Amino acid sequence: MSTPVFENHYATLPAQFYTRLNPIPVASPALIKVNDALAQQMGLSSDWLRSDDGVAMLAGNHVPEGAAPLAQVYAGHQFGGWSPRLGDGRANLLGEVRGPDGQLWDIQLKGSGPTPYSRMGDGRAWLGPVLREYIVSEAMHALGVPTTRALAAVGTGETVLREAPFPGAILTRVAPSHIRVGTFQYFAAQQDHDALEALLNFAIARHYPELDQNDALGFLSAVTAAQAKLVAQWMGLGFIHGVMNTDNTHIGGITIDYGPCAFMDAYHSAMVFSSIDQFGRYAYQAQPEILVWNLAQLASSLLPQIDPDTHTAVKAAQEVLQGFGTAYTDAWKRVFFAKIGLHDGRTEDVALVQDLLLRMAENQADFTLTFRAMATGGPARDQFVDPTRFDDWAKDWHARLDGDVQTLMQTANPAFIPRNHRIEEAIQAAVQGDFAPFERLIHVLETPYTDQPDHSDLQTAPTKQQIVRQTFCGT
């Protein structure tokens, strides 16, 4: 039962990178959940995390010896509009710990109280978004998608005022770093070249150690490749991030900042869930394009690091960004060819996938259930308002199939996703003090590619009454 050993690497960066401050203590910490498997992977003792000191740390009431907590500063484009200073307005980085495999993990408390970056916010989080992020980020991990993780959730015993008073909570978010495109933008906007260089080298060491220090172009290229792959994975799962602002775009190519995100039920390419995304800027199909836009902001922040001659730097950066299209298309093909069981997909097969998606959209077919049924030999056609629209497509599809496709398809098409209506149910129960639905959802989503007949109610699509059409930031 040992206490975590903190290393404070981000805190060694120059003072303009953060504000040193402790989390603000809460009234009455109560443990909701510890992620045992993750704690073990990080070399942390679950028993200690569950101890009084552990829970006090997770609530921000006790700063362990050796930790040097801080709030990180960053900037960002929010819905295309420039915000020169955002930063951790409701989060606190306690420091990093090193896992037995040598990997460094940021330990961050989200909902830990006001900071100099809180603007109008109260620095807190309520139970709903905390459980939502816990469920969805852990599901993403189990689905094989790079993401920040959830180490723990605690209740604060305080009330948080949103549309109504709600119980307060804190999520312990962990990740290899919390560096965003917006972190680079912050220093670029200030023309602080020394800080940019320090940030670049920190980010390279943390995420792309195979690169040489100061290799800004290599870094841009690596981020572009990682993000292209990430968004292709989102597309393959019907995941809509909802707030792809540059401050929510991670330079390690991992999913970060789960707000009004959602997995689609019925497929539609223009699907939007976020209540604040009125114009569909971050709709399902818009995600790759938005990502390029965000990467262009990273590129422009890195220009002085790429080459002292602006013209040369722009040209080199443009070449990298032009590579995004191919990188994304390749990643998309890998994802979707696997989904329909093609080991040796060819360019012509893109049309086959697109034809299926079009028919799904026209027939309100459930995205996850359609592909899962195809993978398990189930009646995929039942997902279609007009099942013959699937039958017609399936003729072409069967003609293309070769050999054993079930293994490939079953590992590419999950049985379970965190469906909106189930998340909402789990949150509503938790607000009443019943965490059983939350626990069950977490448990089932640990093995999303495995059929779990006892939990088939978590697999099915929502009924008309159950459909959740909008999701909220809850901030």
The answer to whether residue 474 forms part of the interface with ligand AMP (CB under 6 A) is no
Single out the catalytic residue among 247, 257, 265, 366.
247
Work out which of 96, 138, 257, 265 binds Mg ion, going by CB under 5 A: 257
Nearer to Mg ion, 248 or 294 (CB): 248
Angle in degrees, CA 25, 155, 240, rounded to 5? 110
The amino acid that residue 20 corresponds to is R
C-alpha closest to that of 125 among 156, 80, 94, 99 = 156
Q: How far is the CB of 50 from Mg ion (least distance, A)?
A: 29
Using the Cα atoms of residue 262, residue 263, residue 264 and residue 270 in order, give the sign of their dihedral: positive
Question: How many angstroms separate the CA atoms of 325 and 181, rounded?
Answer: 19
**Among residue numbers 71 through 90, which ones bind ligand AMP (CB under 6 A)?**
86-90
Nearer to Mg ion, 88 or 366 (CB): 88
Residues in contact with ligand AMP, shown as a per-residue x/- string from 209 to 248 under the rule CB under 6 A: ----------------------------------x---xx
Nearer to ligand AMP, 114 or 157 (CB): 114
Nearer to ligand AMP, 255 or 383 (CB): 255
Stretch that binds Mg ion, among 31-39, 44-52, 214-222, 255-263 (CB under 5 A): 255-263
Question: How many angstroms separate the CA atoms of 416 and 424, rounded?
Answer: 16
Kindly write down the DSSP assignment for every residue of 341-386, as one continuous string: T-TT--TTHHHHHHHHHHHHHHTT-BHHHHHHHHHHT--GGGGSSS
**Among residue numbers 257 through 276, which ones bind ligand AMP (CB under 6 A)?**
257, 259
Q: What are phi and psi of 11, to 5 degrees?
A: -70, -15
Nearer to ligand AMP, 265 or 277 (CB): 277
Q: Hunting for tokens 């006090």 — which residue is that? A: 56
Give the CA distances from residue 447 to residues 138, 145, 377, in Å, rounded to whole numbers and listed in that order.
11, 13, 20
Q: How far is the CB of 14 from ligand AMP (least distance, A)?
A: 20
The answer to whether residue 133 forms part of the interface with ligand AMP (CB under 6 A) is no
Question: How many angstroms separate the CA atoms of 394 and 341, rounded?
Answer: 12
The answer to whether residue 156 forms part of the interface with ligand AMP (CB under 6 A) is no
**Among residue numbers 223 through 252, which ones bind Mg ion (CB under 5 A)?**
248
**Among residue numbers 99 through 128, which ones bind ligand AMP (CB under 6 A)?**
117-118, 121-124
Q: How far is the CB of 73 from ligand AMP (least distance, A)?
A: 9
404 counts as catalytic: no
Q: Hunting for tokens 């040598």 — which residue is that? A: 102
Q: Hunting for tokens 């830990």 — which residue is that? A: 112
Q: How far is the CB of 309 from ligand AMP (least distance, A)?
A: 34
Q: How far is the CB of 412 from Mg ion (least distance, A)?
A: 30
Give the CA distances from residue 466 to residues 11, 259, 419, 423, in Å, rounded to whole numbers and listed in that order.
46, 20, 10, 11
Nearer to ligand AMP, 86 or 302 (CB): 86
The answer to whether residue 473 forms part of the interface with ligand AMP (CB under 6 A) is yes
The answer to whether residue 96 forms part of the interface with Mg ion (CB under 5 A) is no
The answer to whether residue 19 forms part of the interface with ligand AMP (CB under 6 A) is no
C-alpha closest to that of 302 among 226, 189, 205, 176 = 189
Angle between helices 127-143 and 436-444 (to 10 degrees): 20
Question: How many angstroms separate the CA atoms of 31 and 25, rounded?
Answer: 15
Residues in contact with Mg ion by the rule CB under 5 A: 248, 257
Active site residues: 247
Binding stretches for ligand AMP (CB under 6 A): 86-90, 117-118, 121-124, 243, 247-248, 257, 259, 473, 475
